[in-house]
């Protein structure tokens, strides 16, 4: 309960912790419906305690697209700025399945460690 928390350390750690995790969560979000980048940022804020910067999401989506896990399509809006919608490909779905198993098994391990104390 001491209050000597090094916020700089925590901030740095949180940033590191997101690496890989964001990729997983984005794919999970896209499983339910196609989304555009800006939308994913607000979904993220709504569903999780995670914040994701714009400078993070757009390169991330490009990586996923280059790896063929998602596909994208421009959507002209009646009004407003055009949106680039991303959706999960079949490849993305099967990769997500592998990732899900990995995450689930890790969660089990961590639970076991926490209980072993």
Residue with tokens 């964001």: 22
Q: Scan residues 74-103 and list those touching DNA (CB under 7 A).
A: 77, 79-84
112 CB contacts (<8 Å, ≥6 apart)? none
Answer yes or no whether residue 33 interacts with DNA by CB under 7 A.
no
Q: Which of 10, 21, 108, 110 binds DNA (CB under 7 A)?
A: 21
CB nearer to DNA: pick between 19 and 114: 19
CA dist 90 → 4, 26, 31, 58, 70 (Å): 48, 15, 11, 21, 8
Stretch that binds a second copy, among 34-42, 53-61, 79-87, 99-107 (CB under 8 A): 99-107
CB nearer to a second copy: pick between 54 and 97: 97
Q: Which of 1, 7, 53, 98 binds DNA (CB under 7 A)?
A: 53
Q: Quick one: CA torsion of 46, 27, 54, 63, rounded to 10 degrees?
A: 180
Q: Quick one: CA torsion of 38, 98, 111, 14, rounded to 10 degrees?
A: -30
Residues in touch with DNA (CB under 7 A): 12-16, 18-23, 36-39, 51-56, 58-63, 77, 79-84
């Amino acid at each position: 309960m001491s209050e000597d928390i090094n916020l700089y350390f925590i901030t740095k750690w949180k940033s590191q912790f997101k690496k890989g995790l964001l990729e997983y969560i984005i794919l999970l979000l896209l499983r339910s419906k196609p989304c555009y980048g800006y939308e994913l940022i607000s979904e993220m804020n709504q569903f999780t305690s995670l914040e994701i910067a714009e400078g993070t999401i757009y390169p991330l989506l490009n990586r996923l697209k280059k790896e063929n896990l998602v596909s994208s399509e421009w959507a002209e809006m009646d009004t407003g700025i055009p949106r680039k919608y991303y959706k999960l490909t079949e490849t993305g779905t099967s990769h997500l399945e592998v990732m899900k198993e990995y995450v689930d098994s890790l969660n089990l391990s961590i639970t076991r460690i926490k209980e072993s104390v």
